[in-house]
């Protein structure tokens, strides 16, 4: 597609349920990032995929969070047993894999509300 | 590890005022530096970038100069408009192997007519 696509755009879930958030990066982009943005706040890094390398999971806040990237393209972020503090906008971005100053392109985000 | 520090907001200015948003970084080697902007209700988009020391990135009247000696990349605009109201994020990525993208905490700018 022309840009980074995220789905769903909005998700309301009950506390304790599992949710899956999807990211379709720009074709050919080997680097993919997930961030979380709480209301009016900055970007909190969650996880980063680079090609076939092991992902950098250092930002995942708990073991309830996991992510995978299948075939080097689509990525899914899964949150198990959701809590109210998980409510935020989850942003995905992709970049060309070459090191250096290439631009990251962001999706519109998934707004997750846990009630 | 790498980190980015930018001034806290909100920054409130009158239209046509001069803008500076400070950004300093800590990184090994010489990273590439970016400013991203998030307009109300929209996603993040690249505003400008600089990939080596003394480079100046510019776009839409905004400028930032990569200062290696002070590890800074301050964002400036000579005359802000109401339409510049947004959240601005400073970011870096290493120029060696790896593509980790590290952001500052964001600075909200509000421009009043």
Q: Would the CB atoms of B103 and A107 count as touching at under 8 Å?
A: no
Residue of A nearest to B97 (CA): A99
Report the percent of chain B where pLDDT is more than 90. 79
Q: Would the CB atoms of A48 and B43 count as touching at under 8 Å?
A: no
| Type and span of the H or E element at A78 | strand A75-79
Report the percent of chain B where pLDDT is more than 70. 97
Residue of A nearest to B94 (CA): A100
CA–CA distances in Å: residue B111 to residues A27, B23, B107: 37, 20, 13
Structure tokens belonging to residue B1: 């590890």
- Indicate the residue of A31, A108, A109 with minimum beta-carbon distance to B99: A31
Please answer whether residues A87 and A114 qualify as being in contact, where contact means their C-beta atoms are separated by less than 8 angstroms.
yes
Q: What is the mean pLDDT of chain A?
A: 92
Structure tokens belonging to residue A37: 């943005």
CB burial readout B32-48, b (16+ within 10 A) else e? bbbbbbbeeeebbebbb
- Confidence category of residue A9, pLDDT binned at 50, 70, 90: very high
The CA distance from A7 to A85, in Å, is 20
Please answer whether residues B66 and B53 qualify as being in contact, where contact means their C-beta atoms are separated by less than 8 angstroms.
yes
Each residue of B43-97: pLDDT tens digit?
A: 899 999 999 999 999 999 999 999 999 999 999 999 999 999 999 999 999 876 5
Give me the pLDDT at residue A1, please: 53
- Indicate the residue of B99, B103, B104 with minimum beta-carbon distance to A99: B99
- Confidence category of residue A39, pLDDT binned at 50, 70, 90: confident
A-chain residues within 8 Å CB-CB of B49?
Answer: 101, 103
Q: Would the CB atoms of B103 and A109 count as touching at under 8 Å?
A: no
Q: Which residue has the higher pLDDT, B100 or A80?
A: A80
- Indicate the residue of B43, B98, B101 with minimum beta-carbon distance to A109: B43
Mutation site, A55, A100, A103, A109, interface B, largest B CB count within 10 A: A100
- Confidence category of residue A98, pLDDT binned at 50, 70, 90: low
How many CB atoms neighbour CB A83 within 10 A? 12
Size of interface A-B (CB pairs under 8 A): 63
B-chain residues within 8 Å CB-CB of A38?
Answer: none
CB burial readout A23-37, b (16+ within 10 A) else e? bbbbeebbbbbbbbb
Q: Would the CB atoms of B93 and A101 count as touching at under 8 Å?
A: yes
- Indicate the residue of A43, A93, A99 with minimum beta-carbon distance to B94: A99
The CA distance from A75 to B11, in Å, is 36
Give me the pLDDT at residue A80, please: 98
Judged on CB neighbours under 10 Å (0-12, 13-18, 19+), A111 is middle
Q: For residue A67, what are the contacts with CB-CB under 8 A and spacing of at least 6?
A: A34, A46, A47, A49, A55, A57, A60, A75, A76, A77, A78
Answer whether residue A99 shows pLDDT above 70. no
If you search the block for the tokens 């696509």, which residue do you land on?
A: A5
């Amino acid at each position: 597609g022309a840009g980074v696509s995220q789905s769903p755009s909005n998700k309301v879930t009950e506390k304790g349920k599992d949710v899956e958030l999807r990211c379709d990066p720009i074709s050919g982009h080997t680097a993919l990032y997930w961030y979380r943005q709480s209301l009016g706040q900055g970007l909190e890094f969650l996880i980063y995929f680079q090609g076939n390398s092991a992902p950098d999971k250092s930002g995942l806040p708990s073991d309830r969070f996991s992510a995978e990237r299948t075939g080097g393209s689509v990525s899914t972020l899964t949150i198990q047993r959701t809590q109210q503090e998980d409510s935020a906008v989850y942003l995905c971005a992709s970049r060309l894999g070459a090191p250096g100053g290439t631009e990251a392109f962001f999706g519109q985000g998934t707004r997750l509300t846990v009630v | 590890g790498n980190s980015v520090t930018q001034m806290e907001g909100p920054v409130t200015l009158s239209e046509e005022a001069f803008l500076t948003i400070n950004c300093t970084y800590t990184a090994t080697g010489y990273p590439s530096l970016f400013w991203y902007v998030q307009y109300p209700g929209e996603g993040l988009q690249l505003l400008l970038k600089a990939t080596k020391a003394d480079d100046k990135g510019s776009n839409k009247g905004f400028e930032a100069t990569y200062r290696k000696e002070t590890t800074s990349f301050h964002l400036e605009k000579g005359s802000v408009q109401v339409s510049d109201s947004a959240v601005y994020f400073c970011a870096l990525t290493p120029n060696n192997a790896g593509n980790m993208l590290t952001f500052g905490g964001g600075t909200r700018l509000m421009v009043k007519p």
